[in-house]
Amino acid sequence: IPKTTPALPLFAQLRRFTLATITAAETAADFAAILYGDQAADDQDIVEPWDRLQIEHGALLTAPGGSRLAQLKAEHPNATYDEFVKAILREIARCLGIPAVIALGDASKYNYSSGRLDLQAFTRQMEVERAILIERDCLDRLLEAWLDEALLIDGFLPQAFTANVADFEWAWRWTAPGHVDRKKEADGQAVELTSHTTTLAREYARQGLDWETELRQRARELSVMRELGLTATQAAPTPADTETDDEEELVDA
């Protein structure tokens, strides 16, 4: 059963309301008018009810005696149209677990703290679905099928790999959304690495990078810097006031 099943009636309601609003606006935009008769019904000058009169473009017309001409007022789109559309889109997005900021494509009423909070549940949901639907049900099976075919070709894979293929393990790397304050993110990574609650492999994987490749590259950079007489240590910037930052985040939230 698709996730959008509970929202199917909402799509029809949104379409009906939008078409009705457009039709009303187009009708009001046409150069049309209504002739109101303020005299008695037996007055000979009054035009027959429901009769149609052609209005010439750019002409100044006279109305029958005892009548007045008034153009149809545009009542649509009214002030509730925008709120109605947003409410319907939020209901549709809810059954998919999509936050309103993504469904509406509008973050004008969000600050960074509230927007990040709204995206956290969606990010966790994407991680779970990615691990189950993409990695386990698709990528893992594809890799296993490829390995089965590759092992049938002599010399296609390195001998060191084929000798230990039974112990072969793999993992998929996906980039994670970055933090707007890179210093806070780096400080958090440093604390977690020091307390052994994370690994370099995990932190590099969040950026879509391989930790061994990056460390070897860093080692080469340090070697060249030593040859050139450069130092890797830099003057540390003045640490920001943590309490002030926390207060600002609370104000934003």
Residue 214 shares a structural domain with residue 134: no
Rg (C-alpha) for the chain, rounded Å, is: 34
Residue 94 shares a structural domain with residue 30: yes
**Residue 239 belongs to some domain of the structure:** no
Give the domain extent around 91: 5-100
Q: Between 235 and 32, whose confidence is greater?
A: 32
Above pLDDT 70, what percent of the chain?
72
Residue 12 shares a structural domain with residue 94: yes
The residue from 151, 172, 193 where one domain ends is 172
Scan for tokens 């029809």, then name that residue.
Answer: 12
Whole-number mean pLDDT of the chain? 79
**Residue 33 belongs to some domain of the structure:** yes
User: Of the ranges 60-74, 159-173, 211-225, which one carries the lowest mean pLDDT score?
Assistant: 60-74
Confidence bin at 142 (pLDDT 50/70/90): very high
Q: Are 204 and 175 in contact (CB under 8 A)?
A: no
Select from 83, 82, 71 the least CA-distant residue to 28.
Answer: 71
**Residue 105 belongs to some domain of the structure:** no
Run of H or E including 36: strand 33-37
**Residue 182 belongs to some domain of the structure:** yes
Residue 90 shares a structural domain with residue 69: yes
Question: What span, in angstroms and rounded, lies between the C-alpha atoms of 150 and 146?
Answer: 6
Confidence bin at 253 (pLDDT 50/70/90): very low
**Residue 245 belongs to some domain of the structure:** no
- Per-residue pLDDT reduced to its tens digit, 184-212: 888 888 999 999 999 999 888 888 888 99
**Residue 242 belongs to some domain of the structure:** no
Q: Are 47 and 69 in contact (CB under 8 A)?
A: no
pTM of the model: 0.57
What is the number of structural domains in the chain? 3
Q: Amino acid identity, residue 105?
A: G
Confidence bin at 88 (pLDDT 50/70/90): very high
pLDDT confidence of residue 47:
57
The residue from 122, 150, 172 where one domain ends is 172
**Residue 227 belongs to some domain of the structure:** yes
Above pLDDT 90, what percent of the chain?
19
Q: Amino acid identity, residue 145?
A: A
The residue from 100, 118, 145 where one domain ends is 100
Q: Are 130 and 174 in contact (CB under 8 A)?
A: yes
**Residue 193 belongs to some domain of the structure:** yes
Residue 168 shares a structural domain with residue 191: no
Question: What DSSP designation does 134 have?
Answer: I
